[in-house]
């Protein structure tokens, strides 16, 4: 057997092994999807996918439950938190990257230290603060919390990305008559798009998937987000497996699609942020 044949066999074996690993890792998701496609009476059968798949469970959660409201609430919270975090991270990260004073260098280190602070220790102080402000049982408490919790990493990442952009571009723009804001908006931001896209994805996914804060601040069914609303399919003495799996499948799709569409920017942003800073 020549070297070319051995390389072909090795490559084939590698691909087969990777496919098997991917299937094993995605088995819970495949099981969830298969259960969602089964009739309610067959939800607990051992077969992975039904012989006669049905979409009645998906129709049921959108017509006979409050799931559409949970979905809308999650979109509102995640998108608003994503926009706020991206805007604040872009402006703060740019200033920290361009200012080399002791204060800004220390602040950059503080951002990393904040990431090591256990989230569980913030629950009681946050609840008391929002209770005094009258924000408990409102989505505003979640938006503020998600924005604040994602900002340290986001600012640090964007700062690292801005540091890779040469200052010569800004100096040339100022010579041509551009103001500080116009230079930032017209020249720097387009170049920093991969880093900003990474921050947007990071914040959206974290906000969409969070359960801890949502379960702490939300009390009314009408303002539940998806992670809390899914518990409505779990009764005291029974589980609505078909509805639960259908709702879980739908709740996973936005993050998957978001990551697939923005995958290129995510890789570029993380790679650029790791090269300097």
For residue range 62-75, what is the model confidence (pLDDT) as tens digits?
Answer: 988 889 999 999 99
pTM beyond 0.85: the answer is no
pLDDT above 50 (res 31): yes
Statement to judge: residues 41 and 136 lie in one domain = no
Do both 142 and 12 map to the same domain? no
CA distance 155 to 112: 10
Supply the mean pLDDT for the chain: 83
Per the structure, the complete domain to which residue 45 belongs is given by: 3-54
Residue given tokens 């099981």 in the structure block: 31
Pick from 56-60, 119-123, 166-170: least confident: 166-170
Mean pLDDT check: name the lowest of 127-136, 205-214, 228-237, 240-249: 228-237
| 138 burial type by CB count under 10 A (0-12 exposed, 13-18 middle, 19+ buried) | middle
Q: Is 146 within 8 Å of 213 (Cβ atoms)?
A: yes
Rounded distance, CA 8 to CA 17, Å? Answer: 14
72 and 206 housed in the same domain: yes
Pair 122, 249 in one domain: yes
Are 91 and 34 part of one and the same domain? no
More confident residue, 35 or 116: 35
pLDDT per residue over 223-245, tens digit each? 999 989 888 777 644 677 888 88
d(C-alpha 74, C-alpha 79), whole Å: 8
Q: Are residues 106 and 211 in the same domain?
A: yes
Let me know: does 149 contact 114? Beta carbons within 8 Å. no
Domain count, the chain: 2
Q: Do 14 and 69 reside in the same domain of the chain?
A: no
Instruction: For residues 182 and 211, state if they share a domain.
Output: yes
Q: Are residue 7 and residue 86 in the same domain, yes or no? A: no
CA distance 11 to 8: 5
């Amino acid at each position: 057997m020549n070297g070319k044949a051995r390389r072909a066999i090795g490559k084939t074996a590698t691909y087969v092994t990777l496919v098997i690993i991917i299937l094993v890792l995605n088995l819970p998701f495949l099981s969830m999807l298969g259960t969602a496609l089964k009739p309610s009476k067959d939800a607990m059968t051992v077969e992975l996918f039904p012989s006669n798949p049905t979409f009645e469970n998906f129709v049921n959660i959108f017509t006979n439950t409050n799931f559409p409201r949970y979905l809308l609430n999650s979109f509102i919270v995640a998108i608003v938190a994503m926009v706020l975090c991206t805007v604040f991270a872009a402006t703060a990260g740019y200033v920290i990257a361009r200012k080399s004073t002791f204060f800004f260098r220390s602040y950059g280190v503080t951002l990393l230290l904040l990431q090591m602070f256990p989230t569980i220790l913030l629950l009681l102080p946050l609840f008391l603060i929002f209770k005094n402000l009258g924000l408990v049982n409102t989505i505003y408490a979640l938006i503020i919390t998600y924005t604040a919790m994602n900002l340290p990493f986001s600012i640090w990442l964007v700062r690292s990305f801005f540091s890779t952009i040469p200052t010569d571009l800004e100096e040339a723009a100022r010579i041509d008559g551009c103001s500080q804001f116009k230079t930032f908006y017209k020249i720097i931001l387009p170049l920093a798009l991969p880093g900003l896209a990474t921050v947007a994805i990071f914040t959206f996914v974290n906000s969409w998937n969070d359960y801890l804060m949502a379960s702490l601040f939300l009390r009314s069914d009408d303002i539940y987000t998806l992670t809390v609303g899914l518990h409505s399919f779990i009764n005291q003495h029974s589980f609505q497996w078909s509805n639960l799996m259908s709702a879980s499948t739908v709740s996973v799709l936005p993050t998957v699609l978001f990551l697939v569409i923005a995958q290129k920017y995510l890789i570029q942003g993380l790679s650029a942020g790791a090269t300097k800073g």
